[in-house]
Amino acid sequence: MSSEIGKRVKLSVFGESHGEMIGCTLHDLPAGEAIDLEAVYAQMARRAPGNDPTATARKESDEPRVVSGFCNGVTTGTPLTAVIVNENTRSGDYAAQLSVPRPGHADHTGMVRYNGANDIRGGGHFSGRLTAPIVFAGAVCRQILARRGITIGAHILQIGDVRDEAFDALGVRASLLKELSEKRFSLIDETKEAPMRAAVAAAKQAADSIGGIIELAVTGLPEGLGSPMFGGVENVLSPLIFGIPAVKGLEFGDGFALGSMRGSEANDCLHYDEHGKLGLMSNHNGGILGGITDGAPLILRAVIKPTPSIGQVQASVDVQHGINTTTVIRGRHDPCIVPRAVPVLEAVTAIGLLDLMESEA
């Protein structure tokens, strides 16, 4: 249950930040699905580092090789595996971690968990680098969903105190989502890009980092997808979304705002519209009632904590010598991971939704 997940379409992820290869296997994908690898690579490029001032300077080709499960341009139905060869690693940067855990990272918890046997170089298996194969897997699933009329898109709702316009929860269109899902710095209101970049630059200037919130929507989901209790859309997506490093909160529909609302405000009533089509009059529940899609767009938000790797002097300990000390993290790190987390959030959502659809087919 650690690095694999899924009920029917199962994802198995492997690799470490500075190991030989990272990659993933998708089990039990539907057979005969055409996959456009260029479109897959385009998604991976959105996540790749080194393309944007908000990101780390580490350059990687990140070109995945599909080594199994893909033949004549379509999925074979048997395991689909892609590997990415790690290049351009600078393990020397991480020597100090061995005895002085980086604050806010999994250095110490990982060491305790694995009795010191875990690969600590670059965060090892805990590294954000492992989201590359996840984006690969998500890009594959997304294309299959697209053929079923389902569109997934997300945008940066917030970085620091700068906020983008929120989705129109009931009226969000597939065309907007498609557009967002191709952007590198995904915003609804692009005038917010400058102030957001300024907030990141200010954090970087202060040798600091900054967090944010991503909002995601899905249109075209069939009504009636999901199951009660532990088999609902929220239950399927949440362990995937909390699998993204740095996610510490997740809400659907109006989310935490529902805590101060009344039922009369929060209830989404059904009606037949002027064309006689059954639908909802509002979407406070984010397209999910009782765990099951209700026909309205799926709306969710995830918070991304500020990157723990910052250039400031921080308190830490030297576990080898049992003393308090300070540490300064070197190496190449993102002052703000939020823009690169957008395609990752879209990816895990695609994986979860395809799994759910195939599970209940």
| Residue ranges in 233-272 that form contacts with a second copy under rule CB under 8 A | 234-236, 238-243, 245, 247-256, 258-272
Closest to a second copy by CB, 28 or 168: 28
Position 103 contacts a second copy (CB under 8 A): yes
Closest to a second copy by CB, 158 or 181: 158
CA-CA distances (angstroms) from residue 288 to 253, 257, 294, 358?
A: 8, 16, 6, 18
> 89-120 burial, b if ≥16 CB within 10 A, otherwise e?
beeebbebbeebbbbbbbbbebbeeeeeebbb
By CB under 8 A, the residues from 280 to 339 that bind a second copy are 281, 284-286, 288-294, 301, 303-310, 312, 314-317, 319, 322-324
Dihedrals phi, psi of 105, to nearest 5 degrees: -100, 175
Considering only 49, 138, 153, 226, the residue that binds a second copy (CB under 8 A) is 226
| Nearest distance, CB of residue 257 and a second copy, angstroms | 8
Closest to a second copy by CB, 172 or 237: 237
Position 186 contacts a second copy (CB under 8 A): no
Closest to a second copy by CB, 57 or 112: 112
**Residues with Cβ < 8 Å from 258, sequence gap 6 or more?**
266, 284
Contact 329, 102 (CB under 8 A): yes
**Residues with Cβ < 8 Å from 140, sequence gap 6 or more?**
26, 29, 35, 40, 75, 80
Considering only 63, 104, 166, 170, the residue that binds a second copy (CB under 8 A) is 104
Stretch of 40-48, 168-176, 188-196, 273-281 lying at the interface with a second copy (CB under 8 A): 273-281
Closest to a second copy by CB, 15 or 343: 15
Question: Sign of the C-alpha dihedral, residues 66, 68, 73, 77?
Answer: negative
Closest to a second copy by CB, 113 or 182: 113
| Nearest distance, CB of residue 199 and a second copy, angstroms | 9
Position 58 contacts a second copy (CB under 8 A): no
Closest to a second copy by CB, 21 or 170: 21
| Nearest distance, CB of residue 18 and a second copy, angstroms | 10
By CB under 8 A, the residues from 13 to 52 that bind a second copy are 13-16, 19-23, 25, 27-28, 31-32
Contact 121, 331 (CB under 8 A): no
Considering only 48, 135, 225, 357, the residue that binds a second copy (CB under 8 A) is 225
> In degrees to the nearest 10, what's the CA dihedral of 128, 130, 134, 137?
150
In whole angstroms, what is the distance from residue 202 CA to residue 96 CA? 27
Considering only 42, 52, 76, 96, the residue that binds a second copy (CB under 8 A) is 76
**Residues with Cβ < 8 Å from 93, sequence gap 6 or more?**
122, 330, 331
Chain Cα centroid distance, residue 114: 25
| Nearest distance, CB of residue 179 and a second copy, angstroms | 23
Contact 63, 135 (CB under 8 A): no
